[in-house]
Structure 1
Amino acid sequence: MLDACAELVDEVGYEGLTTTLLAERAEVAIGSVYQFFPDKRAIVQALTLRTMESYLQRLDARFASDDLTEWWDGVDAAIDEYITMHRTVPGFRTLHFGDVVDLHLLDEQRDNNGVIADQLARVLTERFGLADGPRLRFILEIAVEAADALIKLAFRRQPEGDERVLDEAKALIREYLHRQVKANDAGPAAEPDDGDDSGSSGEGANTDGHAGASAAAVAADAG
């Protein structure tokens, strides 16, 4: 049923999706749909959770196989996988991680991109040994929000994604992350409160890399 749901949302959108259409596409009785899902929102929520799990599995595989030197390379790889899923995973281009339906579809307490940022923090700390903490999660939430907005723009402009916009999105996020490391090298920064944009302060991009200890220090001041 979830596969049928993914196909349908690409064809008719979330608003056009109905349980009747889903039953017809999945070739099941309508009662079978309601046996598992009370409404179409619940169906899409289950699909989105499955998609998020698939995304995290892709990241685990990418991190295990790629020669990623620094943690911001991991963020770059995460963006690549996000773009690939837009192109290859049925339903993802329409639903993304659920914000089309509800900004809190994945978690009642956190918005969808916040959940993705938290999960990204988890895989980055496991792969690169970063100290997890509020500052790292704040930085990643900003990066996820910015990347998400620009990737959506790219796919609105062209069905397979406008490469110029996608390239700019990756460059922008890379520059932002390097700037956070550079700002931390200049001296300890205060932990950002919710809604505080102090975490994005800094000077110009640093494209020549930093030692692993400096990268870890971005998150360590709260860890």
Structure 2
Amino acid sequence: MAEQTYEPRQQRSREKVARILEATASLLETTPYDDLGTKLIAAEAGVSVGALYRYFADKEAIVASLVRQWLQLDVQIAERITTEPLPQHSRELFEKLVTAYADRFRKEPGYRRLWYGGPRIASLRADTQQTDLEIAKRVHRALVHGYGMPDTVESRRRGRLAVGVASNLLDLAFREDPTGDLDILADAALMIDRYLFAPPSEK
């Protein structure tokens, strides 16, 4: 079924939507995505099935909204860390960022389960790409103003690529270990730091 989500305007409706998303995240901690149904979500959220369908077409639409909420939080994490007083060394900045995003896997209900066991929703591709771009912009700004990185086409391109590399390394760190492979996480910060500050590539 095509994804369809109703954006509520009234506070009461927004609270219901928030409960539905929270219930879905909570259920994903113990229930595989394939076994998750709208009746189960509605019961967990304390709303009727009919009320749930007023806001979401199906469980995929619920999950898509949940992921979009997480993507917004991902940008907020980058904004917060890069506007705080910066650590002395850039590698420490990357360590803070890696730790913050690793904590999403460790602490955010349903996050890790959906990352590895959820559906691949085509409509989220553009949202994910935009989120990566927003994170890269914030990190680049911090590196330019805090660590003397030159503001060039090359440095911005590397910044966008580094965000994708970091995402893949987080994926690897948590694939088998729900607490995260600490060696991979440490290496992620090191690799990104050295890559971004490496001499410009020769064309």
Establish whether TM, by shorter chain, passes 0.5: yes
In structure 2, distance between residues paired with 1:32 and 1:131? 53
Q: Where do 5+ consecutive residues of structure 1 fail to align? A: 191-223
Moved more, 42-51 or 127-136: 127-136
Residue 132 of structure 2 corresponds to residue 117 of structure 1: yes
Q: TM-score, normalised by structure 1?
A: 0.67
In structure 1, distance between residues paired with 2:40 and 2:151? 44
Find the partner of 1:140 among 159, 166, 171: 159
Q: CA deviation at 1:71?
A: 6.9
Residue 200 of structure 2 corresponds to residue 183 of structure 1: yes
- Structure 2 equivalent of residue 201 of structure 1: none
- Structure 2 equivalent of residue 49 of structure 1: 68
Residue 180 of structure 2 corresponds to residue 155 of structure 1: no
Q: Deviations over 1:41-60 (max 9, x none)?
A: 11111111111112222222
Q: Where do 5+ consecutive residues of structure 2 fail to align? A: 1-19
- Structure 1 equivalent of residue 101 of structure 2: 82
Tell me: CA distance 1:120–1:165, structure 2 relative to 1, closer, same or farther (3 Å): same
3-state SS, counterpart of residue 86 of structure 2? coil
Higher relative contact order (Cα pairs below 8 Å, separated by 6+ residues): 2
Q: TM-score, normalised by structure 2?
A: 0.73
Q: Deviations over 1:10-42 (max 9, x none)?
A: 222322221111111111111111100001111
Find the partner of 1:19 among 13, 31, 38: 38
3-state SS, counterpart of residue 197 of structure 2? helix
Tell me: CA distance 1:117–1:140, structure 2 relative to 1, closer, same or farther (3 Å): farther
Tell me: CA distance 1:165–1:70, structure 2 relative to 1, closer, same or farther (3 Å): closer
Q: CA deviation at 1:134?
A: 6.2
Larger relative helix fraction:
2
In structure 1, distance between residues paired with 2:153 and 2:122? 20
- Structure 2 equivalent of residue 91 of structure 1: 110
Coordinate RMSD, CA, aligned: 3.0
